[in-house]
């Protein structure tokens, strides 16, 4: 579990990643304005390991990223922190006779239960994501940036043999790898403060994982799993659903 402390919120007057702007315009004779945020483009990669028949995701702490369940946005770390700091502390209640004072450990999946169903929700702010990165290196192509991100965050070396841009607006790519592609431990760049856990989601649990609203994940994960289910599963006659 992540240990987060010494939290301090300050105004953000300058940022290498975000720039707030306001556009003024007339629409059908009515003067209007709209605030928006300029950010870097990004690339993301859906990785499927053909040796273990699983998808490779990354899990990391994101103080302010917006994550989604099936029906609504899930609270992220700063939302929870802001809400909880304004609430008075709850008085400790004496546990009922015979009740354990220690919190029960996360339950392991039972026989016949999928790993997604038995997976304990992570603490607020920790999300499941595709391997991804910012397009902030003008001397590198999208393929090269994607390849570098995969090598940094996961144990995999990919060669981008399939053209990226399954969906052009979000610069997604898909990659099939095997255990032979494992060349490192992954986990991100410690020098950049990255603490990344590599997570494997079995193929037959992909859709259960995507639709489980208890698991905070980016829309890229949900979209990519649905895309694979609709396009690749029928083609190769493989199932992304638990039996």
- Most distant pair of Cα atoms in the chain: their distance: 72
Look at residue 178 in the predicted model and tell me its pLDDT. Answer: 61
Q: Which two tokens stand for residue 107?
A: 């339950």
pLDDT confidence of residue 26: 97
- What is d(CA 217, CA 146) in angstroms, rounded to the nearest whole number? 20
**pLDDT in tens for each of the 243 residues of the chain?**
467 788 888 888 889 888 999 999 999 999 999 999 998 888 888 888 888 889 999 998 887 765 554 444 445 677 767 777 766 666 555 555 555 444 444 444 444 444 455 566 666 678 899 998 888 888 988 888 888 888 888 877 766 554 444 444 444 556 566 666 665 555 555 555 557 888 999 999 999 999 998 888 888 899 999 988 988 888 767 777 765
Q: Please give the structure tokens belonging to residue 60.
A: 């990391």
Tell me which residue of 150, 166, 176, 164 sits closest to 224, measured CA to CA.
166
- DSSP state for residue 122 in the 8-state scheme: P
Query: In whole angstroms, what is the distance from residue 149 CA to residue 134 CA?
Result: 9
pLDDT of 205:
93
Residue 222 has which token pair?
């949900």
Which residue, 55, 66, 57, 17, is CA-closest to 37?
Answer: 17
Q: What is the pLDDT of residue 145?
A: 86
Give the whole-angstrom CA distance, residue 170 versus residue 186.
24
* Whether pTM exceeds 0.85: no
Return the pLDDT at 167: 47
- pLDDT at residue number 166: 46
Alpha-carbon gap, residue 172 to 115, rounded angstroms: 26
Please check whether the domain covering 41-70+122-234 is classified as CATH 3.40.50.170: no
User: In this structure, what token pair is assigned to residue 91?
Assistant: 């008085």
């Amino acid at each position: 579990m992540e240990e987060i402390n010494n939290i301090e919120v300050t105004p953000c007057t300058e940022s290498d990643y975000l720039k707030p702007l306001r556009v003024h315009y007339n629409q059908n004779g009515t003067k209007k304005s709209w605030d928006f945020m300029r950010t870097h483009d990004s690339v993301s990669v859906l990785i499927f390991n053909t040796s273990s028949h699983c998808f490779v995701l990354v899990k990391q702490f994101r103080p302010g990223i917006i994550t989604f369940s099936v029906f609504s946005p899930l609270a992220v770390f700063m939302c929870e922190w802001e809400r909880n700091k304004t609430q008075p502390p709850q008085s400790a209640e004496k546990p009922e006779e015979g009740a354990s004072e220690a919190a029960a450990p996360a339950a392991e999946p039972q026989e016949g239960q999928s790993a997604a169903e038995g997976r304990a929700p992570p603490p607020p702010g920790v999300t499941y994501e595709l391997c991804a990165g910012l397009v902030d290196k003008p001397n590198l192509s999208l393929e090269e940036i994607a390849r570098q991100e995969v090598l940094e965050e996961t144990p995999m070396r990919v060669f981008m043999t399939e053209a990226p841009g399954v969906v052009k607006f979000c610069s997604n790519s898909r990659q099939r790898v095997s255990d032979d592609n494992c060349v490192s431990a992954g986990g991100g760049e410690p020098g950049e403060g990255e603490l990344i856990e590599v997570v494997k989601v079995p193929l037959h649990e992909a859709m259960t994982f995507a639709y489980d609203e208890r698991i905070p994940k980016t829309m890229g994960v949900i979209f990519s799993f649905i895309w694979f289910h609709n396009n690749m599963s029928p083609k190769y006659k493989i199932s992304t659903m638990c039996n």
